[in-house]
Amino acid sequence: MPILYTHTDFDGLACAVLLGEVEDIVEIKFAEPEDIQKREIDLVKGSIVSDLPWHPNCGKWFDHHASTAAPKQFEGRFDPHAKSAARVVMDYYDNPFLRKKFSDFVNAADKIDTADFMPEDLKNPSGYFLISISLDAEKTASASFAYRRRLIELLRKKPLEKVLADGQVAKNIADRLEMQKKLEAELPTYTRVEKGVAIVDLRNAPAWMLNAGGRFAVYLQNPACIASMRVRKSKKSGIVDISIAENIFNRGMKADAGAIAKRFGGGGHHSAAGCSVDEDAADAAIEEIVGEIGN
């Protein structure tokens, strides 16, 4: 029975829900793309990997990130045109049971992973989007992973309304919504706009802001920007994480964010990507990236 390695975001959870229905998964482990790219985890041979880069030890692989280098031959499916990795899994198995039970769920994964939102979706979030908001409510990595595993089981076995009514899920959603309100009030202090790019620089921000979520709030506050960058100190000493994204309400970014991030050792999609750089090189990297994605 294989181990599943999947991404920590909602799409990664969605993959785990679907794969749990059709594969005899013995254990679920969570990882970030750079963990795979830099071989920082010992991935067990024969494992299933979803919503993450390909690894030579994987038995099956499912992904949709355009910047990912896919091998010529592998078991699984890679579709850079799919809106979510969950969609890739659904299409690969082409299972009538999966399509009947999880059609709305995968549609939500498509919407969330492509940030296909209207302003009202952010102001009054609902449904599966609320579940995605709740993912980072736990304060420790072990608690966060335990919560994700529990969510996967809830989403497999219960309808959406009962998942939302679960005590832990409801509390985590409420906590995150309150945190996002606090973030929105503080965000302008750490945001500057250069060449049409809203740069949210959290390197000197209080610790609570680093995991407060609300990554789309910058677009409500800076509607004219064509893109955003979020800059923060990494959990790894001496490293800075940089994310790049097109304004979901003003899609005018012509540059390929995934290709740019890949040059810095990261990756992602055309409209949203991320990378990590040495702390001493961060300012130069920010300036270079803004020069490419800005007006």
Laid out side by side, the sheet with 27-31 consists of 27-31, 3-7, 47-50, 58-63, 76-78
Mean pLDDT of 242-262: 91
Give residue 36's pLDDT band: very low, low, confident or very high (50, 70, 90): confident
User: Minimal CA–CA distance to 18: which of 116, 117, 84?
Assistant: 84
Q: Does residue 90 register a pLDDT over 80?
A: yes
CA pseudo-torsion sign 47, 48, 51, 53 = positive
Q: Does residue 166 register a pLDDT over 80?
A: yes
The per-residue pLDDT for 139 is 81
Where does the chain have alpha helices with state H?
A: 10-22, 33-37, 85-93, 96-113, 119-123, 127-133, 141-157, 160-165, 167-186, 207-210, 217-221, 257-263, 282-293
Domain coordinates in residue numbering, the chain: 3-165, 186-293
Residue 263 phi/psi, 5-degree rounding, is -65, -25
CB 273 within 8 A of CB 243: yes
d(CA 46, CA 59): 4
pTM for the full model? Answer: 0.86
The per-residue pLDDT for 253 is 87
| Direct distance between the N- and C-terminal alpha carbons of the chain, in angstroms, rounded to an integer | 51
The pLDDT tens digits of the residues spanning 105-164 come to 999 999 999 999 998 998 899 999 999 999 988 888 899 999 999 999 999 999 999 999
Q: Is the CATH number 3.40.50.11890 carried by domain 186-293?
A: no
Q: Does residue 282 register a pLDDT over 80?
A: yes
The per-residue pLDDT for 174 is 96
User: Minimal CA–CA distance to 247: which of 215, 284, 209?
Assistant: 215
Mean pLDDT of 183-209: 94
